[in-house]
Amino acid sequence: LLAALRRSLGIVCGLCALLHAALSFFVLLHARVPLLWTWPHLRAGECALLIVLVLTMTSFSAVVRAIGLRHWKELHRLVYPALAFATLHVLQSSFAATWLALLSVAVAAALLVVRVLRRNAN
């Protein structure tokens, strides 16, 4: 079930990340653009956002065919560094819910363990 929903889930996550960044920028930071480069939690969030946007753009079959991407699976393994940057973004922020970051890391780790166990069973 999760495998069938993985692409849709990834696209929704990418759109949510973009919405979060846009709202944060326009509501909180528009007058203080230099903060984007100086606060560590914002730099981590920017790195996560860039990776997620690339992954979101390459989640459509037509795009993958148009750009001739041969190593799609390897590219999409960048989801793990994106998760690490997103976790840093939340943990370093004084505004965020730390429990949410830790929960997302725990879920991602559990899914990774299941994937590795399945691969080793075959």
33-50 pLDDT, tens digit each: 677 778 888 899 999 999
CA atoms within 13 A on the CB side of 36: 15
Q: What percent of the chain has pLDDT over 90?
A: 25
Confidence of residue 55 (pLDDT cuts 50, 70, 90): very high
What integer pLDDT is reported at residue 82 of this predicted model?
A: 94
pTM of the model: 0.80
Q: Which of 4-8, 25-29, 91-95 has the highest mean pLDDT?
A: 91-95
State the Cα–Cα distance between residues 94 and 85, nearest whole angstrom.
16
